[in-house]
Structure 1
Amino acid sequence: MIGLLAFLAIVIATALIFSFQLSRRRGCAVFVSAWLLAGLCSDFFIHPIVLLVLLAVLAVIIVDSLRIRFISAPAKVALKKMMPAMSSTEREALDAGTTWWEKDLFSGHPDWSKFEAIELSTLSEAEQAFLDNETAELCEMLDEWQIHHHDKDLSPAVWQFIKDKGFLGLIIPGAYGGLEFTPYAQSRVVSKIASRSTVAAVSVMVPNSLGPGELLLKYGTDEQKDFWLARLAKGEEVPCFGLTSPEAGSDAGAIPDTGEVCEQEYNGEKVLGVKLNFSKRWITLAPIATVVGLAFRLSDPDGLIGDEVERGITCALVPADLAGVEIGRRHYPGSAFMNGPITGVDVFIPMSMLIGGQKYIGQGWMMLVECLGAGRGISLPALSTAGGEMSYLMVGAFARIRRQFGISVGKFEGVQEASADIAAGAYMLEAYRALVTRALADGAPSVLTAMAKYHATETMRSLINHSMDILGGRAIQMGPRNFMALVYQTIPIAITVEGANILTRSMIIFGQGAMRCHPYLADELEALSDDGDGALERFDGLLSAHLAHTAGVFSRGFLQGLTASKFSKTDCGNSALSARWYPRIDRYSAVFAATADFALLLLGGDLKRRELLSARLGDVHSQLVIACAILKFHDNQHASEANTLHAEFALKRSFTALNKALMGFYQNMPQRWMGCVLRVVFFPWGVPSFDVSDNDIRALGDMIMTQNPVRSILADAVHMSDNDEDAQGRIHRAFQLLSEIENDYDAVLHSKLPGDSFAEKLQSAVAAGLLTEQQSQRLAEYDERRYDCLLTDAFDAKLNDIDVRPVRP
């Protein structure tokens, strides 16, 4: 028993050495001291053979030449065989973009002072004024039923307003006539429009995400910027970007569209340029675009610009009226925004139309990956956030207005299970938006924006589905009164674009995350292909650091599991909620980092093909980021019971998903024994449960139906009409009135006053002196509004003309 205790003491001492990241020599000295102290308890530790083995191991660790000969050199040979070759497009994707807080979480040892210093973005006076005035005015002009079912487009007046007021130039600098809004402000504008019309939101967001504008800003020549940006900002030009081809969807690196360097006559002169042949599809704004950003594979068979024939993916600006361009046809993606194919046969452009000129030939894939961040991190999450917030506001209101068996349907626990999920999900989406757009203000974090796109759109899908369930027949009967069905219909669009969600989750988040966020992996892979002078020594340094890192995060995960994070010092946040949850994130960060390293060690390049496993690791990484976003957002709001209730429920949802992904990974590792070992080491007292309780569900299910501080925060981010004839406005107005008179209304409704109808009971209440005439009128007004909220549209027999007859029995 004493010997076993001594062994455990050595294990703990070793874990502390790696956890505190002691230097190699100092760590060995501490380890030897602990070993010799253990020898006082058991002769085993000071047996001559044991000591010789120990000295041999320490010598290999400390002496560079021995370590290189016996560890690093064999490891390099083995790893070369295990790791697949990296394609040029993969390398360009990894080199593009930046990293942010997600890299700290991947390290297993986050710098919490760094996270504490992050300040969420706020709106400038100009940005707030634009939201309050121009954006609100645009929202009032929008009628999604008219757009979707009748016009199949935005009205000419709306299009002109969008162009005149600068909505197509949110990202363009003021020097070129643009609005130069921050990522947060761009997101807020798109969200507010999306709360009224998905068609209008998509029409605005595309020119401000992946498109000619952003590419010109980052890579365009001065001449290109001077000519195009001012015209784009004023709406004189309508842009689109042609990336997706019939045989290359999410695999944009495989686009078949071609460009061939040649000399040809252009504007009366023979010039050097490119002859293009392309076929693009699913291109938003293509039917009305005047200028097309185009990605294609460039070749130079005659050596006109150099010795290389294949020059790689290149981007160009192609005026839509050039000879050979066919544009104007439309696809119909289930929503009425402009989307269609573009084809081109022998379209000639001069070299001046290549984005960035000849300097950026062959760098198109890098340029595109850099610019995907706006679509993934701003536009699509903005649509999703608007969907979540409108679900919260409208479903919460309707669930209180709609009564069944004498009580609000939102009081039924089965309904609350869904409505509480809506409440927590909407809160998470707003928190996530705040953190991701703050990151985009600092750079272009490709991994973080991929997480944002996937988890925001999937959360929206879940919340809208819950909304449809709660609203029931009120949501499925189409018509101008329906405030949810068209949103439900457009969910697949956000899920599909900017990389299908299946691809994003299974390949991109962890695939890129491991390479971009791991402190050593990318450099190690590069060193594997280097056989020059000093290459082995460089690889040895990287491998040694990597092994020390793995031991360190493994030790941190073990020690935090042993102590249940009781001694974790995150010093982050300013609330009791933060004090409870940041240590948990810190613990799981170490567990995730160690698990990822073991996965890379055991599976190597095969992990890339084990998409189910890599997807689970991506989920763990993503949920850690989401939890950080929730806490940062919570601590940034005024303290309130509602704020904490929403945040804690959202955190429990996040950690439940995290646990599910992590345990699923352990259970499905090809080396099942290793999964069992990791689970026992990191969770020696069992896996903590973060399931929401029935009390949590009831509390949040009640909260979503009230005027609370979180509702106010979410309502501020969308446009809510006060028009009684508006699909949203009639619910909103009825809910506001109910919040003022509900006690009196319930008292009359459930009273034993004479009368068969509510109106007759009101008369009896006034006659009995229980209500004033004014009170009676307000209750009668609400009852009429309530009934009007329940009605769905009816049409004539041909489903053409509305024939609503709101006559009460």
Structure 2
Amino acid sequence: MFGLITALILIGLYWTLFYRGISLRLFTAVTALVLVAFWAVGFYGPVGLVIAAVVFAIPAIAFNVVPLRRMLMSRPLYRVFRRILPEMGATEKEAIEAGEVWWEGEMFRGRPDWNQLLDFKLTKLTDEEQAFLDNEAEQLCAMIDDWEVNFELKDLPEPVWDYIRNNRFFAMLIPKEHGGLGFSAYAQSCVVAKIATRSLTAAVTVMVPNSLGPGELLVHYGTKAQQEQWLPGLANGRELPCFALTGVEVGSDATQMPDTGIVTRRTIDGEEVLGLSLTFNKRYITLAPVATVMGLAFKLKDPDGLLGDPDKVDYGITCALLSTDTPGVEIGRRHYPGAVFMNGPIHGKDVFVPIDAIIGGPEQAGKGWRMLVECLSAGRGISLPALSTATGKGMYGITSAYARIRRQFGTEIGNFEGVREGLGVIGGYAYILENVRNLTASGVDHCTPSVVTAMIKYHSTEMMRTVINHAMDIHSGRGIIMGPRNYLAAAYQALPVAITVEGANVMTRSLMIFGQGAIRCHPYVLSEMEAAHDPDFKTGLRTFDRLLFSHIGYSINRMVRAFTLGLTGARLAKAPVDNVMADYYRHLERFSAALAFSADVSMGSLGGALKLKESTSARLGDVLSHLYMASATLKGFEEHGATDEDVVHATWALEYHLHAIESAFHEFVRNYPIKALRPLLSIVALPTGRRFSGPSDALNGRLCDMMSAMDLNSAFGKRMSYDIYVGRGENDPTGRLMAAYEKLKEVDPFYGDFLRGVKHGEIEGATIEEQLQDAVTKGRLDERQAEQLREYDVLRYDVLLTDDFSKEYLFNPHSEEARRAEAESAEWRKVS
């Protein structure tokens, strides 16, 4: 019994030390004290103490005497590590090092500092930014007829183009000293989101120059002369920009682009000029058909050493800026993507430009890849989450309103459980997207996060896809008939654009999120890789030795923490708050520890082969992404206060995220390439199996009830609609829907009783007018209520209508025959 108790005490002691994190020296000291304590209580005598001391001293000295440890252990491991670690190309190294690690790093490392999140200040709109959102952005939305844009013109009307240029929508990120608006990333996000609720074509047109375009590159990297030359024109709309990156043979793998720039000398107007001979073939270039200035990515070569280094020929990816009317530049015909924003190919053969066309000047030759990665990373955190959030919040209001107005089998379709399944997902996703967008855009205002923007690009656009699909299902036939009344079809048709641009989603998930995140977010891996590539063996060995043993201690600690927290239902984790969200903080810390250990096992056991195990990488990336998104929900909840709506929406979101995390871990373990490691990974990540099943039907139902009763004037309603455009007037598709919805809320107190009376035969009549008259006669309604119901029924019926067209209009909407046919149809409708 004494032996059992002693064993349990020792296990508890070391388990506690490993759980809290223990240094090698402290571990050695504690073990020495344990051996002495055993001797003191008589567990063994003096001889036993000597034997134990000798046995203990050998590994203690080997591990703690650093020069000896390096010679016996670190040196052999370092040699193997240097040999097996693949060389990192310059472009790969730049991609990994580009940007900064932000809050996603805390979620990756297993012990998140929640105070760092809670103390972080979300960006707020300035008075100037708010005014622009309320006025210029509102006016732009009001000018747009999305049916005219998508079907009749296949382009924005010229007055809309002029308004965008004249009001500096293309210059939101350009500083005021250069004539731009100088907006925050968050303000840009709000403006793009608002425009997107009106027209995806207009939103994409505005967002691309503010995402990856010459303007941002010039602001961050351009020479003073380049900034003075180009930025004022870009700011006032005189210049329209595009950026040519993607080619025919390469998409996500931009490092393989065949486009070249050769440094050469040419005689121009009798003067010898050092410059570039550019040959390129680009496609999918937004604004190319109308651009006046273009940024161009190419591979720079200097075969004659004209840049000053005779031993360097290949400089790598470089960015240049040139006018589209430069001789040799050919703007191709338009592409026709799902949305009809301007997009097309650009070609050029032996296009000569001066050497100072390189963005940043000749000193920035070969540094274009890092420029692109950093700017694109920031863009991913602004534009596409804004589009996705606009869709989520727009569908939140539109679909819940339609589900109340549309009735089948004598009841609102929003009461059907099948409809509520999809409706709840729309509401939950909209809440998630809003909180994620706010946190991420605010992060971009403070730093240049790279990993987090990749994960949010992927997950926000995938949520956007799900939201639109559910909205289409709920609207049914109302959503598929094209025409001015349809507020869904254009977004549904253009959805693949968001999924594909700025990195195809399948590649972003499989290769980027964890592939980049594991190296950037890990506290030791990148430094270990740099040590392995150190040309000075002794210096590298010293660094590697220190990192290696810190890394081992880190991994043991995360394993013990993950297993302990998983076994105890995360009860031992500390929450930074004392409210209904406290348990969710604890569970996120538990899964953060499990991710840290699983990442270490994956990188250690698979090594460089992990790059090729894309499904394994993607599942760990999913865990990291949901940890980040869940923390964004917690941040939003703490920021705005625990309203009843916030409690329900946040609980739905967190139950969804935790279920997704467990599912990702389950698939990760079940399919791990090395079968022998599956039991270890399973017991650490999911020691008691899966515990989260996602939002329950009851929780989903509560959320749907809140959606259907949403008050836009409440604190929650204002937060969910402040950057949403709702049209006005009988000719606006969302305007007529919301007018009907507001009228429904007005008649709600007596409308249900009226319908029940009709259903049970207590109110008679073949038409709505006869039924209303009978209800007044029988005292079920007064005259005022009957008139309100007449007004609502007109609005209700109008919402249900879909468009129809003459064959002349569909064939050529601009023809005189089409105009005449549609006018005759309008007259017929009035008579009917």
TM-score bin (small chain) = over 0.9
Contact kept in structure 2, 1:13 and 1:34, CA below 8 Å: no
Structure 1 CA distance for aligned equivalents of residues 613 and 38 of structure 2: 43
Structure 1 CA distance for aligned equivalents of residues 679 and 35 of structure 2: 28
Structure 1 CA distance for aligned equivalents of residues 42 and 135 of structure 2: 78
Q: Deviations over 1:572-611 (max 9, x none)?
A: 4xx6233121111111111111111111111111111111
Contact kept in structure 2, 1:6 and 1:38, CA below 8 Å: no
Q: Deviations over 1:229-285 (max 9, x none)?
A: 111010000000000010111111111100111111345532111110111000000
Deviation at 1:67, TM superposition (A): 2.0
Tell me, yes or no, if structure 1 residue 391 matches structure 2 residue 401.
Answer: no
Aligned mate of 1:607, from 598, 607, 610: 610
Structure 1 CA distance for aligned equivalents of residues 77 and 48 of structure 2: 31
For 2:755, the equivalent position in structure 1 comes to 749
Aligned mate of 1:667, from 644, 667, 670: 670
Matched residue type, 1:59: I
Tell me, yes or no, if structure 1 residue 569 matches structure 2 residue 574.
Answer: yes
Structure 2 CA distance for aligned equivalents of residues 406 and 48 of structure 1: 89
Matched residue type, 2:614: E
Q: How does 1:302-321 map to 2 (within 5 A)?
A: 302-305=304-307, 306-307=309-310, 308-321=312-325
Question: Which sits farther off after the overlay, 27-36 or 343-352?
Answer: 27-36
Aligned mate of 1:698, from 701, 704, 726: 701
Tell me, yes or no, if structure 1 residue 115 matches structure 2 residue 121.
Answer: no
For 1:147, the equivalent position in structure 2 comes to 149
Aligned mate of 1:93, from 91, 95, 98: 95
Tell me, yes or no, if structure 1 residue 31 matches structure 2 residue 31.
Answer: yes
Tell me, yes or no, if structure 1 residue 774 matches structure 2 residue 773.
Answer: no
CA 1:232–1:260 in structure 2 vs 1: closer, same or farther (change >3 Å)? Answer: same
Matched residue type, 1:730: R
Structure 2 CA distance for aligned equivalents of residues 449 and 512 of structure 1: 12
Contact kept in structure 2, 1:286 and 1:340, CA below 8 Å: yes
Contact kept in structure 2, 1:630 and 1:647, CA below 8 Å: yes
Structure 1 CA distance for aligned equivalents of residues 807 and 684 of structure 2: 68
SS in 1 for 2:353: strand
Structure 2 CA distance for aligned equivalents of residues 334 and 53 of structure 1: 72
Structure 2 CA distance for aligned equivalents of residues 422 and 646 of structure 1: 11
Deviation at 1:21, TM superposition (A): 2.9
Deviation at 1:761, TM superposition (A): 1.8
Q: Percent identity?
A: 45
Contact kept in structure 1, 2:652 and 2:695, CA below 8 Å: yes
Structure 2 CA distance for aligned equivalents of residues 535 and 463 of structure 1: 51
CA 1:295–1:3 in structure 2 vs 1: closer, same or farther (change >3 Å)? Answer: farther
Structure 1 CA distance for aligned equivalents of residues 511 and 7 of structure 2: 42
Matched residue type, 2:725: H
For 1:338, the equivalent position in structure 2 comes to 342
SS in 2 for 1:756: coil
Structure 2 CA distance for aligned equivalents of residues 148 and 167 of structure 1: 21
Residues matched between the structures, number:
807
Tell me, yes or no, if structure 1 residue 593 matches structure 2 residue 600.
Answer: no
Aligned mate of 1:789, from 794, 799, 803: 799
Structure 2 CA distance for aligned equivalents of residues 683 and 560 of structure 1: 10
Matched residue type, 1:737: K
For 1:180, the equivalent position in structure 2 comes to 182
Contact kept in structure 1, 2:338 and 2:495, CA below 8 Å: no
> TM-score under structure 2 normalisation?
0.93
CA 1:266–1:654 in structure 2 vs 1: closer, same or farther (change >3 Å)? Answer: farther
Matched residue type, 2:770: E
> TM-score under structure 1 normalisation?
0.96
Structure 1 CA distance for aligned equivalents of residues 809 and 56 of structure 2: 85
Contact kept in structure 2, 1:424 and 1:646, CA below 8 Å: yes
Q: Deviations over 1:171-227 (max 9, x none)?
A: 011111111110110000000000000110011001111110000000000011111
Deviation at 1:673, TM superposition (A): 3.4
Structure 2 CA distance for aligned equivalents of residues 534 and 363 of structure 1: 28
Structure 2 CA distance for aligned equivalents of residues 512 and 243 of structure 1: 21
CA 1:414–1:230 in structure 2 vs 1: closer, same or farther (change >3 Å)? Answer: same
Structure 1 CA distance for aligned equivalents of residues 673 and 259 of structure 2: 41
Deviation at 1:12, TM superposition (A): 3.6
Contact kept in structure 1, 2:299 and 2:317, CA below 8 Å: yes
Deviation at 1:5, TM superposition (A): 5.7
Structure 2 CA distance for aligned equivalents of residues 724 and 656 of structure 1: 44
For 1:21, the equivalent position in structure 2 comes to 21
Q: How does 1:305-454 map to 2 (within 5 A)?
A: 305=307, 306-307=309-310, 308-454=312-458
Structure 2 CA distance for aligned equivalents of residues 252 and 716 of structure 1: 38
Structure 2 CA distance for aligned equivalents of residues 610 and 416 of structure 1: 38
Structure 2 CA distance for aligned equivalents of residues 69 and 2 of structure 1: 42
Structure 1 CA distance for aligned equivalents of residues 722 and 377 of structure 2: 25
Q: Deviations over 1:12-53 (max 9, x none)?
A: 433322333333222222234456667879889979877655
Q: Deviations over 1:343-371 (max 9, x none)?
A: 01111100121100011000000110110
Tell me, yes or no, if structure 1 residue 626 matches structure 2 residue 629.
Answer: yes
Say what the alpha-carbon RMSD is for the aligned residues.
2.2
Structure 1 CA distance for aligned equivalents of residues 404 and 723 of structure 2: 22
Contact kept in structure 2, 1:6 and 1:41, CA below 8 Å: no
Unaligned runs of 5+ in 2: 811-817
SS in 2 for 1:207: coil
Matched residue type, 1:728: T
SS in 2 for 1:261: strand
CA 1:457–1:268 in structure 2 vs 1: closer, same or farther (change >3 Å)? Answer: farther
Structure 2 CA distance for aligned equivalents of residues 2 and 423 of structure 1: 59
Q: Deviations over 1:442-480 (max 9, x none)?
A: 111110110110010011011111111111111111111
Question: Which sits farther off after the overlay, 385-394 or 683-692?
Answer: 683-692
For 1:535, the equivalent position in structure 2 comes to 540
CA 1:228–1:267 in structure 2 vs 1: closer, same or farther (change >3 Å)? Answer: farther
Question: Which sits farther off after the overlay, 351-360 or 552-561?
Answer: 552-561
SS in 1 for 2:111: coil
Contact kept in structure 2, 1:411 and 1:701, CA below 8 Å: no
Contact kept in structure 2, 1:749 and 1:758, CA below 8 Å: no
Matched residue type, 2:448: A
Structure 1 CA distance for aligned equivalents of residues 387 and 5 of structure 2: 58
Structure 2 CA distance for aligned equivalents of residues 502 and 9 of structure 1: 50
Q: How does 1:98-247 map to 2 (within 5 A)?
A: 98-247=100-249
Contact kept in structure 2, 1:753 and 1:761, CA below 8 Å: yes
CA 1:41–1:324 in structure 2 vs 1: closer, same or farther (change >3 Å)? Answer: farther
Deviation at 1:713, TM superposition (A): 2.1
Q: How does 1:254-265 map to 2 (within 5 A)?
A: 254-265=256-267
Structure 1 CA distance for aligned equivalents of residues 9 and 723 of structure 2: 55
For 2:814, the equivalent position in structure 1 comes to none
SS in 2 for 1:244: coil
Deviation at 1:711, TM superposition (A): 4.0
Structure 2 CA distance for aligned equivalents of residues 682 and 41 of structure 1: 41
For 2:461, the equivalent position in structure 1 comes to 457
Deviation at 1:806, TM superposition (A): 6.7
Structure 1 CA distance for aligned equivalents of residues 537 and 370 of structure 2: 28
Q: How does 1:458-477 map to 2 (within 5 A)?
A: 458-477=462-481
Question: Which sits farther off after the overlay, 475-484 or 427-436?
Answer: 475-484
SS in 1 for 2:341: coil
Tell me, yes or no, if structure 1 residue 558 matches structure 2 residue 563.
Answer: yes
CA 1:287–1:42 in structure 2 vs 1: closer, same or farther (change >3 Å)? Answer: farther
Structure 1 CA distance for aligned equivalents of residues 708 and 686 of structure 2: 39
Q: Deviations over 1:424-458 (max 9, x none)?
A: 00100000001101110111111011011001001
Tell me, yes or no, if structure 1 residue 727 matches structure 2 residue 737.
Answer: no
Structure 2 CA distance for aligned equivalents of residues 114 and 22 of structure 1: 23
Contact kept in structure 2, 1:411 and 1:702, CA below 8 Å: no
Structure 2 CA distance for aligned equivalents of residues 561 and 50 of structure 1: 35
Structure 2 CA distance for aligned equivalents of residues 507 and 193 of structure 1: 32
For 1:758, the equivalent position in structure 2 comes to 768
For 2:299, the equivalent position in structure 1 comes to 297
Structure 2 CA distance for aligned equivalents of residues 11 and 244 of structure 1: 58
SS in 2 for 1:331: coil
Structure 2 CA distance for aligned equivalents of residues 722 and 115 of structure 1: 40
